[in-house]
Amino acid sequence: LLPSAPQHTAQGSYAELSRYVPVRLSHDDRKLLNLLERALNVSEYTDRVDVYTLRQEKDNLIIDQLDEACSILSGMSVASHQRPPADFDHWYQRVFEVGRRYKMLNPERFRDNYGKLMYMLMDANKVRDRLQFELIKPIKTVRSEYGALGQPLEDLLLDSRLPLAVHPAHNKEEAEVRTAARDDIAARHGDKLKPDDLNGILDSLEEFEEFREHCSQPATRMKEYLQHYFSPIDETCG
């Protein structure tokens, strides 16, 4: 096979991309994701809402089933010895946001129940006036999560070493280059950014680059094959 040439995001483009790059799930986020998946496995939301009788108004049925789904979530939270939230409304928003954010960069996972989650949130939007609480919140992005850092964030996103520091490594040499770039960035920005914030930003951008490479690699490889094995002016070539 032809080796794929490494491709890096252009310097400076991360300042704009940060508005759309989802934040990598934290340890607590992954606990909530596990909780959400188990709750969706138990819920029969789509079975009951999609198969309803004329004797019951569909909006009422949607509200009843959403209440039941949220009750399952809160019950599982207590059963799994997680600390019960003081504000359930915002907690539900966070749980559902984690599920949506995870799916964005992991499209091959969370397949069985993600459709059910989408139906729930779409229906919740239809009846939100009667539901009396909101289940949807904006996706956490690098910009929305770390924007309060101000100029130190801007300096990091414009750093010339950043593309190397978040580029997926496919071999030992690339891993060493990435590690060296990360160490250099930590030395440059460590006095202005907390380690957790710096690692969170770098990990989120790296996960995004892995996702983008995974999506674009088939087309890139096919283009390389066409350029290497075929000629636009010689029909016998290839």
Q: Where are the domains of the chain?
A: 14-19+149-229, 27-131
Q: Give the pLDDT of residue 12.
A: 58
Residue 77: pLDDT band with limits 50, 70, 90 = confident
**Local structure of 181: helix, strand or coil:** helix
Q: How confident is the model at residue 3 (pLDDT cuts 50, 70, 90)?
A: very low
pLDDT greater at residue 146 or residue 65: 146
Query: What percent of the residues of the chain are helix, what percent strand, and what percent coil, each to the nearest 5?
Result: 65, 0, 30
Quick one: average pLDDT of 216-237?
83
Pair 120, 61: CB distance under 8 Å: no
Section 16-29 average pLDDT: 94
**Residues in CB range of 221: below 8 A, 6 or more apart:** 1, 2, 4
Distance between CA atoms of residues 26 and 238, nearest Å: 49
Rounded Cα distance between 88 and 96, Å, is 12
pLDDT, averaged across the chain:
86
Residue with tokens 């964005």: 104
Chain centroid, CA 24 distance in Å: 6
